Amino acid sequence: MPDHPRNAAPQPPGRLDCTFLTSAPDIARAPPGDRPEVAFAGRSNAGKSSVLNRLTGSRQTAKVSKTPGRTQLLNFFDVARIAGEPVRGRLVDLPGYGYAKANRDAQARWQAAVNRFLSEREALVAVVLVMDIRHPLQPFDRELIDWAAASHLPLLALLNKADKLKHGAQQKALAEVQRYLKEMPEARAMVFSALKGQGVDRVLEVLGGWFAAEAA
């Protein structure tokens, strides 16, 4: 293998460098889809915003709340580097599904906005589905997985909040989700903890791979 300078020194621990671009209430008011986009979807309170913050290493990236349902807009972040490698991509933090305390109109509005974004956004190249490892594969999760499979969209299922379970229970939940994904070559599942940082490097690898495939 040629002695490329990039390989000369070990990389520092992986990190995702991104900057907030803008928020939009729906696809009609979203910025132009001029970069490949990866959406973070999942039930309200599963930890989408926390996962994003853990990947960037900054608590400021996406708003995290004790009260679920705080991400009410589509939030766009431009990615500049992953683990030191330049990339051209965008992450979209989506509003969570099923926030019980929101009034019904507001909830229906967000869900329509998320559904339209997922089905119509041409720049979308992959989806990260964040689930609470203690309650994986809720109806919305299954719907999203089935839709991604039918659309041939790569999907990464993150079983977040792994710190809440012992190793054995984590593996059991992972096996259950992997069974559900079995017939889907473009989907995979990983155990993750936004709190502890478990799984960060592997997720960065997947994201980097998706963006690199789009750039090729």
Ligand X SMILES: Nc1nc2c(ncn2[C@@H]2O[C@H](COP(=O)(O)OP(=O)(O)OP(=O)(O)O)[C@@H](O)[C@H]2O)c(=O)[nH]1
Which residues bind to ligand X, rule: CB under 6 A?
42, 44-50, 64-66, 68-71, 95-96, 99, 160-161, 163-164, 193-195
User: Which residue's CB is nearer to ligand X, number 57 or number 214?
Assistant: 57
Of residues 141-170, those binding Mg ion (CB under 5 A): none
By CB under 5 A, tell whether 71 contacts Mg ion: yes
User: Which residue's CB is nearer to ligand X, number 4 or number 103?
Assistant: 103
Query: Minimum distance between the CB of residue 47 and Mg ion, rounded to whole angstroms?
Result: 8
Backbone angles phi, psi at 13, to 5 degrees: -50, 140
Does residue 52 come out as left (phi exceeding 0), alpha (psi in the -120 to 50 range) or beta? alpha
CA distance 78 to 35: 9
User: Which residue's CB is nearer to Mg ion, number 65 or number 119?
Assistant: 65
User: Which residue's CB is nearer to Mg ion, number 114 or number 189?
Assistant: 114
**Which listed option, Mg ion, ligand X, none, makes contact with residue 50 (CB within 5 to 8 Å by class)?**
ligand X
Is residue 158 within 8 A of residue 129, CB to CB? The reply is yes
Query: Minimum distance between the CB of residue 129 and ligand X, rounded to whole angstroms?
Result: 11
Query: With CB under 5 A as the contact rule, which of the stretches 40-48, 75-83, 161-169, 188-196 interacts with Mg ion?
Result: 40-48
CA distance 109 to 89: 27
User: Which residue's CB is nearer to ligand X, number 36 or number 42?
Assistant: 42
Q: Give the nearest residue (CB) to ligand X.
A: 96
CA distance 207 to 209: 5
Interface pick for Mg ion out of 15, 30, 40, 49 (rule CB under 5 A):
49
3-state secondary structure of 6: helix
SS3 content of the chain, % helix, strand, coil (to 5): 35, 25, 40
H or E stretch including 33? none
Query: Minimum distance between the CB of residue 86 and ligand X, rounded to whole angstroms?
Result: 27
By CB under 5 A, tell whether 61 contacts Mg ion: no
CA distance 132 to 161: 6
